[in-house]
Amino acid sequence: MTGQKNIENKLEELGQAIGSDESLVDNVMSGIDARTIVESNRIERRFTMSRLMKFAAAAVIIIAVVFLITFLDKSVTPTYAIEQTVEAFENVRFLHLIRHDESGQVEEERWIEIGMDGRQVRYRQGKPPGVFVIEDGESTAVYHNEKNTVVVYDREDKQYQWVGELGKFLENLRQQGQIIEQNTNYRGRLVHKILWPMMNAKCYVDPVTKLPIAIGNTEFSYEEPPAGTFEIVIPEGYAVVDMRPGHETGPIPEWLQTKQTADERFHQATHALAEGHYVEAAELFEYVVEHNPGRNWAWFWLGKAYYEQGKYSLAIEKFSKVIDMMTDVPYCNYARGLAYAQLGMHKAATEDLQVCLPWMVRALRERSAALLFEYADNSLLRYGKNKPSERDVVTHMINRLRFITGQNLGYTRDATDEENEIAIAAWEDWYKNSGQIKFTPDVEFVPIPARQE
């Protein structure tokens, strides 16, 4: 069979595949320039368009369509919406979180089982090379590896969580999450970068699964954990102190009594700080960080107690400890920036305040972005006391902004929503076009009425 004949046969097969309706071919061929048809008639001895030409035209159309589909599939990524991540999370039952330090070594690992109601069911957290805590759904085992001891509590009395009720965080993502950049790169992977306000961090979302692969410096996966992950196992040579009701506790080691005392003093210290007893608060918090140095908020509020006493260098030392221990702590950069400014260290102050400034401006619209600032300023908020209203949250942030910028761009508590919207937009425009730090202790604050408890 000649090459020409073979082509004709293949084209006829293609024509049979698309059926007997030739209207598609006719419509395409009707657009061919009439002069081309005339010239073709001369060359091809004036025969009408042959069946072969129709099949050829169909082949061209099909090839073009296939090429277009292939091209679009490879070059166009469907538009991403945050709602897709919220929906994807609704089907997640296991979370595997790994946090690395700056050198790339595993600093912390967590496994979490999530129930159908979005609440944590079981939990495991470790700091290599040992386990820190395991919750099996009924009991909580805290591993004190340096003491070769496991302390077991009733889960109702002591629970460890990653984010608490995941549903609230997802609703925050749905309502206030923002897409920063689509189809960007994270460690060699294609991702969408989003802001999750309640997480206080940027997230990197897999375009296929729509699930985060990293939040801040913590990487995520969603596989089912190995068997026994949530099983409380007592290592060989470890002592057990059982604090569950109805169980025989036995003698409580002195170091554990000291830790329990530290927990009690933390409670006392938070109240002393809120009541303005700064010297007492500092003494109590010093005891806490000595015996429980991993308690981040104790370090922060210790710094605040020193700041309120005018001991700015000590405050900076404590705030720096928190910043070294954690990432994305804008409320701490704000506090340390104020302490630097009080000492006249304006360059260091400006560097810190520039770090927290974008969070502060964004918080004027996204209340959740301001929650950690509120928590930092109100040590009793953890106990559900002095909870601010939404207008209080915005007013507090306006006052913080005035304090570090010297700007008065409006916003009053008795203004209409429309008037305050204009003020918030003015702050956003100012940040976009200027954003200059100017520490202004004598700035006029928006008054906030005392809350009635």
Query: How confident is the model at residue 78, as a pLDDT?
Result: 66
DSSP β-bridge partners for residue 178: 195
Work out the angle at residue 351's Cα, subtended by the Cα atoms of residues 346 and 354, and round it to the nearest 5 degrees: 115
Name the residue with tokens 């025969």.
47
- Residue with the two structure tokens 């039952």: 93
**Residue 100 has what pLDDT?**
84
For residue 336, give the 3-state DSSP assignment.
helix
d(CA 16, CA 13): 5
Place of tokens 């059926």: 19
Q: Which domains does the chain have, with CATH numbers?
A: 3-75 (no CATH), 82-242 (2.50.20.10), 254-433 (1.25.40.10)
What pLDDT shows up at residue 23? 32
CB 330 within 8 A of CB 310: no
Query: DSSP letters along 274-305, please?
Result: HTT-HHHHHHHHHHHHHH-TT-HHHHHHHHHH
Low-confidence ranges of the chain (pLDDT < 50): 1-76, 452-453
pLDDT tens profile 217-275: 889 999 999 999 999 999 999 999 999 998 887 789 999 999 889 999 999 999 999 99
Secondary structure element (H or E) that encloses residue 180, with its range? strand 178-186
Q: Tell me the CA distances in angstroms from 338 to 14, 16, 274, 350, 415, one per residue in order.
A: 76, 79, 19, 9, 29
Per-residue pLDDT reduced to its tens digit, 163-188 = 767 777 888 888 888 899 999 999 99
| DSSP secondary structure letters along 204-252 | EE-TTT-SEEEETTEEEE-PPPPTTTT---PPTT-EEEE-STTS---PP
Cβ contact 375:270 at 8 Å: no
What is the model's pLDDT at position 20?
A: 35
At 382 the pLDDT is 85
For 66, the enclosing helix (H) or strand (E) is helix 51-75
Note whether 123 and 110 are within 8 A (CB). yes
